[in-house]
C-alpha cells in the first residue's frame, strides 16, 4: 500500500494535480458534540435570548474551512465556492450534530475543508460551554457524502 | 445558567482576564482515529519505512495549537511553553489515539490549545490516509486532565 | 518632528520596548456605519429573528483585534487580556456605532488593537449589508479613551 | 428584506457561487485620514527625506487586501489579479485620501478586498503618526466604483 | 531601469495580471545548509532512527510555500498545484541541499513560492540543529529553472 | 547526539520551557543578496527617487519575524520587544547585506525570529528585482551574535 502523500525520498509531499481538470466537487461532513443537560439547554435557550453559541460556531467553522491549507499540511490551497454549517439539536441525548457542506470547482476535493469546518465549529461550541461543563466530548467526525472528481460519488453507509 | 462568553448585549465577548495572576497550567487532551485494517497498517509500517504519517501529524498538531486563538474566536492569545503529541497504536481495533500535552504560565488555561492540537493531528492522519480509506472516523475528542488556575485540578473519570 | 517608527537609515522599524515595564493598558475606540433605512432595519430586526449581523461583526472584530500585529506592520505582538465590542443603534439617522474595548498588561499600548477591532466589525456589517445597500459608509473611526503607559490618560474631547 | 448571508436556520453562511461564471471585476474604494497640521507635514515631508509612511501604508494595504477572507467572515477566498493604492494629500485640511483599486477574474466581487486595503492602509498611517497626534480620525470609507458581475456597474454619486 | 512593482506615485504595487492567460508554470529553486560534522551526522542518522529532521523541514517548506503571498508583500495569491521538496546530503562537506519544485496553472509565476519553500525548509533544519551547532550557515539560495509564462524558459548556468 | 526537538517516541516536539525564567535576549543575524550591476543600481537609486525597495523589504522582514512561530514548526510563540533591519550596500560587488536585530524578554531565544526577518527581507528584494535580474542569489544567512539565556553570549568568528 503506497501513500500518495510521500515522494520517492519517503518525505511528505503535496500531490501534483497540475494535469487534472477542474470539476464541481461537494463534500458533506459531520461532527457531534455531547453536552451535559445543563450545557445543552444553555446553548438551546441561548440561541433564542442569551447569546447565540451556534452563530459563533458557524462563523468559526466557516473561517476555519478557509484556513484548511494552513492547518492540514498537504492540502492544496483552494478557493471555496461555498461553505455552510447546519446544526441538529437532539433533546433526547443532549447532543448537537454539526453538518458542514463545502463546494468548489477545482482540481482536487474539499473533504478536508468540510471536515475542518465541522471540527472547528464543534471545538468552538466546546470552548463556549466549557465553563459550564468540563466533560464535553466531540465524536463521530466523518465524511457523509462527496461528489465530483475521478473517484466519483461516495456516500457513507449508516 | 449564564455563559461567560457573552456580554450584557448578549453578543460574544472575550472574557476579561486582566486582573488574574499568571500560573502554570497544563492540559492533556485526546482524539482517536479509527482506520481500516489496511490504512492502519500503512501508517504503522510507514512510520518505519515508507513515510512517516505520524511525524507530519505531530507537526500539524503543534502548529495548529499555535493557531488556536485564530481558530476559536473567543480564545485569548497565549504564548505556549510547550506542546507535545504522543500516539498510541492499537492493533486490536486499528485505532490511533492522539494524546496532546500543552503547558503555559498564563492568566487563562490551555484546554483549547491541547484540544486543537490533537484534533488537527487527527485530521492530518485522516488527510494522509483518505486515498486508502474513505470511511475514517475521528472520535472521543475530550480533555483528559488539567491543572492550574482558579478552577483547580480536573481529571476525567474513565 | 521625528517619527518613532523609522530608524537611523530612515527605514521603518518596530520601536524597542525591551526596557519598559508592563502596565495595565485600556483603549476604547469607535467606528460608525451609516446605512440606508432599509439596511438599518434589516440589521436591527435581524438580530431578533432573521440572522444576527451584529453577532458576526462581534466575532470578526474580536478575531481581527488578535490579527493586529499581522495587519499593522510596526505593531508589537501582544497577548490581549480582553476585547469586547458593543453596538449603539440609532434609529434617527440609521447608524450603528461600534465601540471596542481592549485591555492588556504589556509594555506597549492597545490603541491599534481596539481600532482594528471596531474597523473590522464595521467592515463586516458592510459586507453583510452590501447586497441590500451599495452606498454604505464607515466613518468616525477614532480613539475614545486610553489609560496606562508613560503617556498617561487620554480622553477625546467631544 | 432577506440577507444573503444567513441560511435557512438563520445562521451565517458563505453564499453559494458554484454555478456563477468568472468575469473581470474591478472595485475602487477610499478612506480619508484626518491629521493635525504637525502630523500631516511630518508625513508629507517624511516621504521625501525622513522615512516613508505612505510606502509602509501601501504595503500594509496590499497585504491586508490579501487577508480579506480571513478578516471578513463570509468573504470568499479570491486570488487577486491586482491591488494598487494611491494617496491624495490635501494641504488645505491636512487630510490624506487613500484610494484602492482591486481587480480579479472571479465568480464574486472584490469590494471587500478594496475596502480592506484602504482601511488597513489608513490604520497604518494612524499607527505611524499616533506618537505625534492622538486625535487622528479615519473617515469616509466607502466604495467609489465597481464593475463586473451580475449587478453591473456602480458609481457613487458625489 | 523601471521596477514593475512601483506605481506612478513611486509607491509599491501588486502588478496587474488581469489580462494575462493562465499557463502551466514550474519553478525549481534551491538552498544549501552548511552544518558541522556532528550536526550533519545527527540529521543523517536521525532520519533513520532518532527523529526525522528532514520530514519536519519538508512539512515546513510546503506550508511555507502556501504562505508566500502573506510573506512577500507584492506576490499574487496563487493556488499551488504542487509543491515538493527533495534533499541531497553531501558527506564530503556536511551540507544538505534543499531542492523545491512548485507547479501551478496561473497568470503569474511560482518562483517566489519555490524560493520560500526551500528557504523555510532550510531555516527549519537550522532551528532543529541549533542546539548542537551555533555556526550553521544557509547559502546558495537561487532559482534553478523555470518554465511557462511570457518570459519563457530559464535555466541557471552552473 | 540527541536533538532537543524530538520526544521519546522520536516524533517532533516543542521543547518544554515552562520552568525557565524570562531574561532579555538579543539576536543579530544577516543575509546577503547578490545582484547584477543593473539591478543593484536600480535598488540604490530607487531608494532615492523611483520607489523604495528596501522600505518594502524592511516591512516584509519585520512582519515575517512576527510570523516565525507559524513558519518554523517547533518555535515557541514569542512577543517580540523589537525587530529592526539595516542594510549595507556594497558598490564593489553589487551586494546588499541585510542585518536584523531581534529583542525580547522571554524564556527562549530569538535567533529564529532574527534569521526569518533577514531571510524574508532578502527574498523580498529578490521578488522586487526579479523582473530585471533572473540570477539573483541569496547567501551567507547566519547568526552574527546573541546574548541572554543559559547558553550565554555567542559571537560568530569572522
DSSP letter string over E61-90? HHHHHHTHHHHSTTPPP---SEEEEEEEEE
Contacts of residue D128 in chain F, CB cutoff 8 Å? none
CA–chain centroid gap for F152, Å, is: 20
Name the catalytic one among D52, D86, D127, D140.
D127
* Fold exhibited by the domain F23-149: Alpha-Beta Plaits (3.30.70)
Rounded distance, CA E2 to CA F129, Å?
10
Residue C94 has pLDDT above 70, yes or no: yes
Name the catalytic one among C93, C127, C133, C140.
C127
Rounded distance, CA A132 to CA A151, Å?
44
Contact state of C73 with F87 under an 8 Å Cβ cutoff: no
Rounded distance, CA E158 to CA E155, Å?
9
Distance from CA of A109 to the nearest CA of E (A): 13
> A116 with E118: CB under 8 angstroms?
no
The pLDDT tens digits of the residues spanning A57-106 come to 999 999 999 999 999 999 999 999 999 999 999 999 999 999 999 999 99
Contacts of residue F17 in chain B, CB cutoff 8 Å? 81-82
Contact state of C81 with B16 under an 8 Å Cβ cutoff: yes
Rounded distance, CA E115 to CA D17, Å?
34
User: For chain C, which chains pass the contact test of at least 3 CB pairs under 8 Å?
Assistant: A, B, D, F
Residue C100: pLDDT band (50, 70, 90) is: very high
pLDDT at residue A54, as a whole number: 95
> E109 with E27: CB under 8 angstroms?
yes
- Mutating which of D44, D61, D81 best tests the E interface, going by the most E Cβ atoms within 10 A? D81
Rounded distance, CA F63 to CA F99, Å?
15
Task: State the distance between the two ends of chain F, measured CA to CA, in whole angstroms.
Answer: 27
Distance from CA of E52 to the nearest CA of B (A): 8
The pLDDT tens digits of the residues spanning B120-150 come to 999 999 999 999 999 999 999 999 999 998 8
Residue E49 has pLDDT above 80, yes or no: no
Average pLDDT, chain A: 93
Residue F127: pLDDT band (50, 70, 90) is: very high
> Grid coordinates in use for C96?
450603528
3 state SS of D73: coil
> Grid coordinates in use for E155?
535555466
Is B5 a known ligand-binding residue? no
Parallel, antiparallel or unpaired: strands D95-106 and D23-34: antiparallel
* Cross-chain CB nearest to C82 (options B12, B18, B79): B18
Rounded distance, CA F143 to CA E91, Å?
24
Distance from CA of E148 to the nearest CA of B (A): 30
| Cα dihedral D8, D14, D15, D21 sign | negative
Per-domain boundaries in chain B = 23-147
* Fold exhibited by the domain D23-148: Alpha-Beta Plaits (3.30.70)
Which residues have a Cβ under 8 Å from the Cβ of F114 and sit 6 or more positions away? F27, F28, F29, F65, F83, F100, F101, F102, F143
Q: Which residues of chain B have pLDDT under 70?
A: 1, 47-50
What percent of the residues of chain D are helix, what percent strand, and what percent coil, each to the nearest 5? Answer: 30, 30, 40
Rounded distance, CA E89 to CA E80, Å?
27
Residues of chain E whose beta carbon is less than 8 angstroms from a beta carbon of chain D are: 7, 9, 11-18, 69-70, 73-74, 76-79, 106-107
Active-site annotation of F, residues: 127
- Mutating which of A142, A148, A150, A154 best tests the B interface, going by the most B Cβ atoms within 10 A? A142
Contact state of D60 with F60 under an 8 Å Cβ cutoff: no
Write down how long chain A is: 158
Residue of B nearest to F15 (CA): B82
- Mutating which of A3, A10, A13, A14 best tests the E interface, going by the most E Cβ atoms within 10 A? A14
Contact state of A77 with E87 under an 8 Å Cβ cutoff: no
> Grid coordinates in use for B25?
497550567
Query: Which CATH architecture fits B23-147?
Result: 2-Layer Sandwich (3.30)
Contacts of residue F104 in chain C, CB cutoff 8 Å? 18
> E104 with A18: CB under 8 angstroms?
yes
User: For chain E, which chains pass the contact test of at least 3 CB pairs under 8 Å?
Assistant: A, B, D, F
CA neighbor of D99 nearest in space, from D154, D147, D58, D148: D58
Contacts 24+ apart (CB under 8 A), B85-90: B85/B57, B85/B58, B85/B61, B85/B117, B85/B118, B85/B121, B85/F11, B85/F13, B86/F7, B86/F9, B86/F11, B87/B54, B87/B57, B87/F9, B87/F11, B89/B40, B89/B43, B89/B44
Residue of B nearest to A114 (CA): B123
Q: What is the mean pLDDT of residues D131-143?
A: 95
The pLDDT tens digits of the residues spanning D80-135 come to 999 999 999 999 999 999 999 999 999 999 999 999 999 999 999 999 999 999 99
Which residues have a Cβ under 8 Å from the Cβ of B158 and sit 6 or more positions away? none
The pLDDT tens digits of the residues spanning D52-90 come to 999 999 999 999 999 999 999 999 999 999 999 999 999
Is D137 a known ligand-binding residue? no
DSSP letter string over A139-150? EEEEEEEEE-ST
Strands (E), chain F: 23-34, 82-90, 95-106, 137-147, 154-155
Q: What is the mean pLDDT of residues E79-108?
A: 97
Residue D32 has pLDDT above 80, yes or no: yes
Rounded distance, CA A141 to CA A118, Å?
8
Residue F49 has pLDDT above 80, yes or no: no
Rounded distance, CA B63 to CA E56, Å?
11
Distance from CA of E132 to the nearest CA of A (A): 23
Distance from CA of A104 to the nearest CA of D (A): 6
> D138 with D33: CB under 8 angstroms?
yes
> A102 with A135: CB under 8 angstroms?
no
Amino acid at each position: 500500500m503506497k501513500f500518495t502523500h510521500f515522494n520517492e525520498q519517503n518525505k511528505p509531499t503535496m500531490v501534483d494535480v497540475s494535469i487534472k481538470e477542474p470539476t464541481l466537487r461537494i463534500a458533506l461532513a459531520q461532527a457531534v458534540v455531547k453536552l451535559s443537560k445543563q450545557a445543552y439547554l444553555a446553548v438551546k435557550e441561548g440561541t433564542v435570548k442569551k447569546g447565540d453559541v451556534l452563530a459563533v460556531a458557524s462563523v468559526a467553522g466557516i473561517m476555519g474551512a478557509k484556513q484548511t491549507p494552513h492547518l492540514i499540511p498537504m492540502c492544496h490551497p483552494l478557493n471555496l465556492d461555498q461553505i455552510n454549517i447546519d446544526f441538529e439539536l437532539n433533546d433526547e441525548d443532549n447532543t448537537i450534530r454539526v453538518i458542514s457542506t463545502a463546494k468548489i470547482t477545482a482540481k482536487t476535493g474539499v473533504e478536508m475543508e468540510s471536515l475542518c469546518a465541522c471540527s472547528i465549529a464543534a471545538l468552538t461550541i466546546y470552548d463556549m460551554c466549557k465553563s459550564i461543563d468540563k466533560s464535553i466530548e466531540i465524536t463521530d467526525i466523518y465524511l457523509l457524502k462527496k461528489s465530483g472528481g475521478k473517484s466519483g460519488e461516495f456516500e457513507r453507509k449508516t
